[in-house]
A and B are shown apart, each in its own frame.
Chain A
């Protein structure tokens, strides 16, 4: 199972570090990252592989929601299929 993580908000030191820390602890492999600054906003997308996820999806999501509050940026995780499905047949 793959998922997309999106992180959007005001740029600051250590965003990627904090996000990847959570992922590494849950045994989530990152397959692709793209990151840019759009109109002053840090915008990152990650394709992650959850096949060896060490915990439940909902636990990982809770951890990312906690991180969202800690660092003050929007952090979302959604299964990849929703994006593929809506944009193609």
Chain B
């Protein structure tokens, strides 16, 4: 029998420290839904998704019930729609987004990702059509998430795409202006995007993935923070060790749930993404972990180093616990979704520039940051270019999910609701990058030796 104190530790982690399985994401290939008629393709997409995912929510709930561990989200990721819709010859892919939205509603998942295009080296015909459809698609659907990969380490940065995305983000913000530009919270611009990421808004089912797969995202910033409270004042290698051990336990819980879901749905288990994903609730914050390590507020000098330690230790613990670690795996720093980040941004401790520095050492990037609604297209593109450069040069995934909240400015607060949270509008650098962005073209592939 397992030891009594282990039992109580597990129960405490779940009940008091908010250990949970953040998402079970079913990846579904839509490649066989390609059709020369858009209408037929949409019908095939709807049928295929509802066929495979029919029992996803039910099985998730059953497992939550039996193991006593909350499974917060059940989601779906599909093949990038730009690839699927291209053959239809349609000049707008809004109907595809609606088919995804209806399928998501039918099976009861809260988000479906994959209204996406991969354009790191250039645009195919379908890519441009998809990107131009994004603002309307995000305005007219509820659950569809969109992502565009504009750069990767092997191809460099597609600056034409970067320029276009600045415009698309602004358009999306305008169309969803009644809801604090919520559409932008469902749109991510990536560098080095990954095929098996289970987390939204950036999830899609990559081309090399199997027909259907289950990917699991675990979380647990609260558990890590509580574990660190026990090593107050100890040297940092002790802190790292402690995070590692905690990440191990969290990952094991995810592995168990992933295996069980996979068995019951008869769908292969893909990967476990062991990212620390915060929520706006008290006690579920990555910023508070950094503060527990010894910073007065998240954003103070030292934050990048503390985050680097945290991110690396999480990976090490997770990799030991599961052979299927993948996705993004690290620490997320979405401002509006993290209670500690929100406070740090409000108090002025956390600035946009510091966030950019932090993204060079942790998973993903400038995430869920509300910026003034009058930020120009070219400034948003320049933000994307900077972030893509960090990803491309450092061979890591980076992303931008900023929300230029229409009609609001510094001093106001944007409310997105639910897990998406709320955020004070953060100032951005007021100087222009317009000429730089207007050049377009490509930033070539970086050299991969002579690293300094």
Task: Mark A residues whose CB is within 8 Å of B.
Answer: 4, 6, 31-32, 34, 45, 47, 57-58, 61, 76-87, 89
User: A76 near B65 (CB under 8 angstroms)?
Assistant: no
Judged by a CB distance under 8 angstroms, whether B255 is at the interface is yes
User: A83 near B252 (CB under 8 angstroms)?
Assistant: no
Judged by a CB distance under 8 angstroms, whether B2 is at the interface is yes
What's the minimum C-beta distance from A37 to chain B, rounded to whole angstroms? 13
Q: Which residues of B have CB within 8 Å of A87?
A: 2-3, 6, 9-10, 249, 252
Bound-state CA distance A83–B7 (Å) is 6
Judged by a CB distance under 8 angstroms, whether B447 is at the interface is no
User: B67 near A78 (CB under 8 angstroms)?
Assistant: yes
What's the minimum C-beta distance from A27 to chain B, rounded to whole angstroms? 18
- Across the interface, B321 reaches (CB within 8 A) one of A4, A78, A89, namely A89
Q: Which residues of B have CB within 8 Å of A80?
A: 2
- Across the interface, B66 reaches (CB within 8 A) one of A45, A57, A84, namely A57
Bound-state CA distance A75–B21 (Å) is 22
Given contacts A82-B10, A83-B10, A87-B249, contact A45 B4 (CB under 8 A): yes
Bound-state CA distance A57–B61 (Å) is 13
User: B4 near A81 (CB under 8 angstroms)?
Assistant: no
User: B67 near A6 (CB under 8 angstroms)?
Assistant: no
Bound-state CA distance A87–B8 (Å) is 12
What's the minimum C-beta distance from A26 to chain B, rounded to whole angstroms? 15
User: B249 near A82 (CB under 8 angstroms)?
Assistant: no
Known: A32-B1, A77-B68, A87-B9. 6 other contacts (CB 8 A): A57-B65, A57-B66, A78-B68, A82-B67, A82-B69, A85-B253
Judged by a CB distance under 8 angstroms, whether B282 is at the interface is no
Judged by a CB distance under 8 angstroms, whether B419 is at the interface is no
